[in-house]
């Protein structure tokens, strides 16, 4: 199926493309034929994935910067246009989840502001500068990374993260409605827990792992590559009539929490 999702002659901009879901998505988009601009503040990670794409015969560039900085985001979009002449896919993926993010009464104000700046403002800035480029290029696809917690809330307190992802979800819906007749589709990718070194460390204790897995009907964490497959679908013409969705890739978590009417 993935082979049918051709992105030949398409340009994609991926924020947070140097690691995790972003990295796997860069590789899949490039493999499908897209030219990819990797936007990340981690120069080493960004350069590594760019080199991997180039070694596989693809075309990719690194744009260094911070998604919460308006000038940096504007520059990354401008780089995509200057390198390839267009922008067709915008994957606003970069996000953070600090350890100090907890309950409303315990989360430090600076942590709240940092999370909102990166996770919510960063997506807004991506759309602010990316939408004009998409329109200029004849339309395209926006994929914004939200989370399953934007739909059901988190079992463990993480108020800033949950609030930021709820904002991403609502913003994506509004963008989808506003730009649908101008050739832009916008969807919110909502991952469940993804297997990362950090999460594996947190779940290293068997009891902690069992408590988390009981809430996941499929009984395992997602792989970053599985989320990248979902992004590839939403980026391609295979999803040409898909916009404004809460695109769940959560192993059934939200279904398990839904109360039948």
**What pLDDT does residue 197 have?**
67
Asked if the structure places residue 129 within a domain, the reply is yes
Query: Which is catalytic among the residues 161, 179, 233, 257?
Result: 161
Reported as a pLDDT band with limits 50, 70 and 90, residue 259 is: low
Containing structural domain, residue 152: 2-249
Asked if the structure places residue 14 within a domain, the reply is yes
**How far, in Å, CA of 73 to CA of 78, rounded?**
9
What's the structural domain count of the chain? 1
Pair 141, 90: CB distance under 8 Å? yes
Sheet containing strand 184-191, edge to edge, reads: 60-64, 35-40, 11-15, 89-92, 140-145, 184-191, 246-249
Residue 133's nearest CA partner among 87, 176, 171 is 87
Asked if the structure places residue 257 within a domain, the reply is no
**Is 50 exceeded by the pLDDT of residue 1?**
no
Q: What is the number of alpha carbons within 13 Å of residue 159 lying toward its C-beta?
A: 12
Asked if the structure places residue 186 within a domain, the reply is yes
**What pLDDT does residue 2 have?**
41
**Is 70 exceeded by the pLDDT of residue 30?**
yes
**How far, in Å, CA of 226 to CA of 78, rounded?**
30
Asked if the structure places residue 256 within a domain, the reply is no
Residue 22's nearest CA partner among 231, 233, 245, 251 is 231
Query: What is the number of residues in the chain?
Result: 261
Q: What is the mean pLDDT of the chain?
A: 93
**What pLDDT does residue 37 have?**
98
Residue 226's nearest CA partner among 198, 247, 254, 257 is 247
**Is 90 exceeded by the pLDDT of residue 160?**
yes
196-253 pLDDT per residue, tens: 766 776 667 777 677 777 788 888 889 999 999 999 999 999 999 999 999 999 999 8
**What pLDDT does residue 218 have?**
86
Pair 168, 188: CB distance under 8 Å? yes
Q: What is the CATH number of the domain that holds 188?
A: 3.40.50.720
167-199 pLDDT per residue, tens: 999 999 999 999 999 999 999 999 998 987 667
124-147 pLDDT per residue, tens: 999 999 999 999 999 999 999 999
Reported as a pLDDT band with limits 50, 70 and 90, residue 82 is: very high
**What pLDDT does residue 258 have?**
62
For the chain, the maximum distance between any two Cα atoms, rounded to a whole number of angstroms, is 53
Asked if the structure places residue 259 within a domain, the reply is no
**What pLDDT does residue 156 have?**
81
| Angle formed at CA 117 by CA 144 and CA 147, multiple of 5 degrees | 35
Does the active-site annotation cover 257? no
Asked if the structure places residue 194 within a domain, the reply is yes
């Amino acid at each position: 199926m993935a082979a049918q999702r051709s992105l030949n002659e398409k340009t994609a901009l991926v924020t947070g493309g140097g690691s995790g879901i972003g990295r796997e998505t860069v590789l899949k988009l490039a493999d499908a034929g897209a030219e990819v601009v990797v936007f990340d503040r981690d120069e080493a990670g960004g350069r590594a994935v760019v080199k991997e794409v180039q070694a596989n015969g693809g075309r990719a560039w690194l744009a260094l910067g911070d998604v919460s900085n308006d000038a940096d985001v504007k520059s990354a979009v401008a780089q995509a246009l200057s390198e390839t002449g267009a922008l067709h896919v915008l994957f606003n993926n970069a996000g953070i989840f600090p350890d100090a993010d907890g309950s409303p009464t315990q989360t430090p104000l600076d942590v709240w502001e940092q999370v909102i700046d990166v996770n919510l403002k960063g997506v807004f800035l991506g759309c602010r500068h990316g939408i004009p480029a998409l329109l200029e290029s004849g339309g395209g696809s926006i994929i914004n990374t939200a989370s399953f917690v934007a739909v059901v809330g988190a079992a463990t307190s993480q108020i800033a993260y949950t609030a930021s992802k709820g904002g991403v979800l609502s913003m994506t819906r509004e963008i989808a409605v506003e730009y649908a007749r101008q050739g832009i589709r916008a969807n919110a990718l909502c991952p469940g827990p993804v297997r990362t070194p950090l999460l594996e460390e947190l779940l290293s204790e068997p009891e902690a792992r069992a408590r988390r897995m009981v809430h996941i009907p499929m009984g395992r964490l997602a792989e970053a590559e599985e989320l990248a497959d979902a992004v590839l679908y939403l980026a391609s013409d295979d999803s040409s009539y898909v916009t404004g969705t809460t695109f769940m890739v959560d192993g059934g978590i939200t279904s398990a929490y839904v109360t039948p009417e």
